[in-house]
A and B are shown apart, each in its own frame.
Chain A
Amino acid sequence: MLVSNLGTKKDLPEIFVRKSSGITRTIRPVDAFLLNCGVMALMFGLYMYSVNVGFFSNVDVKLALIVSVLLMTPQVLTYSLFTAAMPRSGGDYVFISRSINLPVGFVANFVMWYTQLMWIGLAASLVSPTGVSVAFATAGFVLKDPNLSNLAGTFVDPLWSFVVGSIVIVGAGLALIHNVRTLFRLQNALYIIAIIGTIPLVGLLAFSSREYFVSQFNTYMAPYLNMADSYSYIIQQGQNAGLSFSGGSVYVLLSVVVSWVFFTGFAYFTNYSAGEQKGAHRFKVNFASMFGSLIFSAGLVLVIAWLLERVAGHDFIASIFYLYTTGAVPELPIAPYAGLFAGLLTDNPIVVWTLNIGIIAWTVLLAVVIYMMLTRIMFAWSFDKLFPKWISDISPRFKSPVKATITTIVIGELFLAAYILIPSLSMYIMSGFFLAQNAYVWLLTGVAAVVFPTRKKELYESGPKHEIAGVPLIRIAGLLTVAQCLFNLYFLLSDPNLGVNTPFAIGYSLIFMPVLGIVVFYIAKTYRKRQGIDIGLAQSEIPPE
């Protein structure tokens, strides 16, 4: 049979449609693109830039970001193809449950849910030190108001970080409780503010000179370091602390590539709500929204990183972040993120506030976009009788999942507290998050993609086929995703600079999280069995013939 995937012949009508009902999907591809961009928020990308340039100062972290984007392309391809084959809400839970089995699908999804709860705490904890504090610091500098400068120091304080983080977690939760639409409104408003704030950020960095930056920085730091050339002092101190600014090995470069995956690995979040997305059964639509957001977000970070290095200098940025994080120069008043450097380049208070409120919006956005995904996952489990029914209750008053949201708030607050009160533990939590994502969520999704065309032959063949030399593209993408995860895991477990290869992080992420998922699954299974319910039936596919 002659089969062409190159498009239909236009002279032949494809379908006749009768008058009937039917509109179900409401998320547009552009919404999907924006949601994915929200997960890969600019400020987190710039935070990762600071971390990478500070701790891996002898390699080009911008080059590593480009390689990281290429590395994650198979993952995006896998999720795009899987979503087209099974355009349903639930994402990897559905893909893995169907292609492998329900327990494996649940454990992978449980790890995803658990790590994203940790993520809400982490994202919320960053709002105060990377957003609010920087806003007051630069405003204090421009307005020459010491009270504002002092406030900047206050917001680095753990207590205030907790308070601000709690406001974000509870505020976003209350928005969702009030109405799903309220949460989306909040998300859209944050987007607008964030994008407006990004314009002066880019503009100031693009149109300022190195000399002006050095002069402004020295003026800013004079009260703290009591010296004329703080800029050179910072670089010197960095070198004294052992930093080198070139000559890094390929191994170090590849470690940074893996570190960047923390940012570049999350361009696929819309697969969790694919059942509500228009055109989700089309691979190209999914790929455009996922890969598009990966390119856009990484591209924006790349441009700003390049501008930052042009204005402030690579050696200076590496040194100041390293010195601040390790506490080697305790006189540094606040976290030296991109907002601070850009804020020093203007004396216009309106520009400064616009810039900084934009930065705060980016950091808040990071926490907000996770809410919908978390509650959807809990809904899916509740429908499948894996979680208590009350989790999926919709409040008659608010028409929203109040109990699921409150559960998310409470657990998110616990992780926020852990992150702020026990910084060393929280570092492990953050690392464990990444390790578990690679080992259980992405790796198993890759394996599921490899076996999908064989184990679910009929489902695979019922959709549009994408093949290369007769081999299903999803199988190739799955294999590459598995390889990419193994590559990531090798570096995470072998390079101590990535902060993961500790007994605690490995035990927590590779053993505790999946075991907890297995325990939850089998408790649910046993409990439901006593009620006469076989939870294995929830996702089992009935043969059609």
Chain B
Amino acid sequence: MTRIFYATDIHGSEKCFGKFLNAAKFYKASILILGGDITGKVMIPVIENSTGGWTVNWLGTHYEPGSEEELLDVEKKIRFSGYYPFRTTKPQMDELSSDEKKLDQVFSQLMIRTLERWMKLAGEKLKPQGVKCFISGGNDDRLDIKPVLKSSDYIIDPEDEVVYVDEHHEMITSGYTNITPWNCPRDIPDEDLHKKIVAMADTVRNMDGCIFNLHCPPYDTGIDTAPELDKDLKPKTRSGQSSEIPAGSKAVRQNIEKYQPLLGLHGHIHESRGEARIGRTVCLNPGSEYGEGILRGLIIDLGDKGIKSWQFTTG
């Protein structure tokens, strides 16, 4: 039997990443899969003042760390919440406030630096345990993180490839999704996503044991339900209530219907935790609550004849 632990959409939360690494030991899993959207969205400036001290405004609280140790403690708290602490000065802050391009570069640097540290940590923790770990990007992750994932000597970035998770089960992976209202780095038209999936699926040797690790859930399956947004990206309401629509990919659904793999692992829509069946394929979305430092996940036990069991976790 192979036990997989799957989580997704941790969006830069160092607390969730730490939990993800520890999940192997905690749940006795031999395979870890992190399904995409691993980088953060928010940067918290840690500002050096004229006297050499530091000030931070974060979650409605004003901090003035009195020592390097206290500063590191505040920065750790920020990282644990899924934000990037960024040591800066007031003049640099002013510059970033008015220069979107420069701000973008700082974000990229922070993401890459964080991910490099994470990859190192993952190797140190998981290598001695002999745990196989797959980490790929999602639609929210910039393409410049790919070299970092690929350069790791232990972590496997399985995207756009067919990999074996164990000797019986192959896996195809894509972090790309159909177009979202935010036009994220890996948003592509459904037709292009279809081509990507087919290119991998056609080379799978044993579809009966195959896992489709596709960040985007299949369309209209109940695990892709998201608030309908207006042109200002605010949730639409009808009769005073939030309007919800299926936001998954038709290409993903169509290919699951066609190829009928053993298992579909999905994420992307945080609030749509659940399971769905398309023919023989079990499709699972563990959801995400990274903002609260909660690691939503799935323990999946695979036997020789298929899925033995699966269990949602809230770690």
Binding site for B on A (CB under 8 A): 1-9, 12-27, 31, 86-88, 181, 184-185, 188, 275-276, 281-282, 383-385, 392, 394, 396, 399, 459, 461-464, 531-533, 535, 537-545
B64 touches A462 (CB 8 A): no
Contact indicator A8/B27 (Cβ below 8 Å): no
8 contacts across the A-B interface (CB closer than 8 A): A9-B62, A16-B45, A18-B41, A26-B235, A86-B292, A185-B241, A188-B240, A542-B26
Nearest opposing residue in chain B for A27, CB measure: B242
Q: Which of B47-74 contact A (CB under 8 A)?
A: 47, 55, 57-67, 70, 74
Taking a contact as CB atoms under 8 Å apart, the answer to whether B62 and A383 are in contact is no
Partner of B227, one of A26, A384, A540, A545: A26
Contact stretch, chosen from B147-155, B157-165, B206-214, B304-312: B304-312
Given A15-B83, A88-B294, A533-B309, 5 more A-B residue pairs with CB atoms under 8 Å apart are A12-B47, A88-B289, A188-B239, A542-B26, A544-B18
Highest count of chain B CB atoms <10 Å: which of A18, A27, A275: A18
Pairs of residues from A and B, 10 with the lowest C-beta to C-beta distance, nearest first? A26-B242, A544-B18, A8-B57, A542-B315, A2-B64, A184-B241, A542-B19, A16-B43, A20-B41, A4-B62
| B57 A384 Cβ-Cβ under 8 A | no
**1/0 per position for B191-202, CB-CB distance to A under 8 A?**
000000000000
Provide the main secondary structure of the chain B interface.
mixed
Partner of A276, one of B42, B80, B97, B271: B271
State whether the Cβ of B114 lies closer than 8 Å to any Cβ in chain A: no
Interface residues of B in 279-315 (CB under 8 A from A): 289, 291-295, 299, 301, 308-309, 311-315
Chain B residues, CB < 8 A from A2? 62-64, 66
CB-defined contacts of B66 to chain A, threshold 8 Å:
1-2
Taking the complex as formed, is B119 at the interface, i.e. its CB lies under 8 A from any CB of chain A?
no
Contacts of B132 in A (CB 8 A): none
A16 to B315, CA, bound (A): 28
Instruction: Report chain A residues within 8 Å CB of B42.
Output: 15-18
Question: Contact: B311 with A12, CB < 8 Å?
Answer: no
Interchain CB contact under 8 A, B309 and A532: yes
Q: Is B178 an interface residue (CB 8 A)?
A: no
| A24 in contact with B63 (CB, 8 Å) | no
Contacts of B233 in A (CB 8 A): 23
A234 to B80, CA, bound (A): 68
Min CB–CB distance B89 → chain A (angstroms) = 12
Known: A13-B93, A392-B274, A462-B77. A537 touches B311 (CB 8 A): yes
A509 to chain B, nearest CB (A): 30
Verify B140–A21 contact, CB threshold 8 A: yes
Chain B contacts for A185, CB-based, 8 A = 239, 241
For B, the interface residue count at a CB cutoff of 8 angstroms equals 83
Min CB gap B313→A, angstroms: 6
B115, CB-defined interface residue at 8 Å: no
Q: How far is the CA of A537 from the CA of B298 in the complex (A)?
A: 11
The contact of B315 among A385, A392, A540, by CB within 8 Å, is A540
| Contact (Cβ within 8 A) A181 B292 | no
Known: A24-B270, A184-B241, A543-B22. A14 touches B44 (CB 8 A): yes
Residues of B within 8 A of A282 (CB): 60
> Most chain-B Cβ atoms within 10 A of its Cβ — which of A19, A21, A31, A532?
A21
Asked if B311 and A538 sit within 8 Å, CB to CB, the answer is yes
B107 / chain A contacts, CB cutoff of 8 Å: 16, 18
From A17, A25, A462, A533, contact of B81 by CB (8 A): A462
Please give the distance in Å from A95's CB to the nearest CB on chain B: 13
CB–CB A87/B295 < 8 A: no
Instruction: List the B side residues contacting A8 at CB < 8 Å.
Output: 57-58, 60-62
B135 contacts the other chain (CB 8 A): no
Chain A CB within 10 Å, residue with most, of B66, B67, B270: B270
Give the CA-CA distance A539 to B314 in the complex, in Å: 5
Across-interface contacts of A184 in B (CB, < 8 A): 239-241
Contact residues, B159-194 vs A (CB, 8 A): 180-184
- Residues of chain B with a CB closer than 8 A to A1's CB: 63-67, 70, 74
Q: How far is the CA of A12 from the CA of B60 in the complex (A)?
A: 12
Q: Judging by beta carbons under 8 Å apart, are B243 and A21 in contact?
A: no
Query: What residues on B are CB-neighbors of A12 within 8 Å?
Result: 45, 47, 55, 57
Residue of B nearest to A9 (CB): B62
Residue of A20, A24, A394, A533 touching B271 (CB-CB under 8 A): A24
Min Cβ gap B12→A in Å is 10
The answer for the CA separation of A12 and B301 in the assembled complex, in Å, is 50
The answer to whether B63 and A3 have CB atoms under 8 Å apart is yes
Cβ A14 vs Cβ B57 within 8 A:
yes
- A12's nearest neighbour on chain B, judged by CB, is B57
Q: Considering only CB atoms, which chain B residue lies closest to A17 in the complex?
A: B42
- Please name all residues of chain B whose beta carbon is closer than 8 Å to the beta carbon of A531 when the two chains form the complex: 308-309
Distance between Cα atoms of A188 and B77 in the complex (Å) = 41
Known contacts A18-B41, A18-B107, A544-B15: does B229 contact A23 (CB below 8 Å)?
Answer: yes
| List of A residues within 8 angstroms of B140 by Cβ | 20-21
| Structural contact, A540 and B60, CB atoms closer than 8 A | no
Q: Which residue of A lies closest to B270 (CB)?
A: A24
Cα A24 to Cα B240 with chains together (Å): 17
A508 and B225 CA atoms in complex are apart in Å by 41
Q: In the docked arrangement, what's the CA distance between A32 and B256, Å? A: 39
Is B238 among interface residues, defined by CB-CB distance under 8 A?
Answer: yes
B156 at the interface (CB under 8 A from A): no
Q: Known contacts being A8-B62, A537-B311, A542-B22, is A394 close to B239, with CB within 8 Å?
A: no
Closest chain A residue to B24, Cβ basis:
A542
A464: chain B residues within 8 A (beta carbon): 59-61
Shortest C-beta distance, B18 to chain A (Å), equals 4
- Chain B residue numbers with a CB within 8 Å of A459 are 293
B312 and A544 contacting across the interface, CB-CB below 8 Å: no
Residues of chain B within 8 A of A13, CB atoms compared? 45, 57, 93, 97
Given contacts A4-B61, A16-B96, contact A544 B235 (CB under 8 A): no
How far, in whole Å, are A276 and B235 apart by their CA atoms in the complex? 13
A532 adjacent to B308 (CB under 8 Å): yes
CB-nearest residue of chain B to A186: B239
Do A15 and B271 have beta carbons less than 8 Å apart?
A: no
Measured CA separation A281–B70 after assembly (Å): 24
- A277 nearest CB across to chain B (Å): 11
Q: Which of A14, A27, A383 contacts B312 (CB 8 A)?
A: A383
Q: Which residues of A contact B74 (CB under 8 A)?
A: 1
Judging by beta carbons under 8 Å apart, are A181 and B243 in contact?
yes
Report Cα–Cα, A24/B295, bound state, in Å: 16
**In the complex, which residues of chain B have a beta carbon less than 8 angstroms from the beta carbon of A21?**
139-140, 180-182, 184
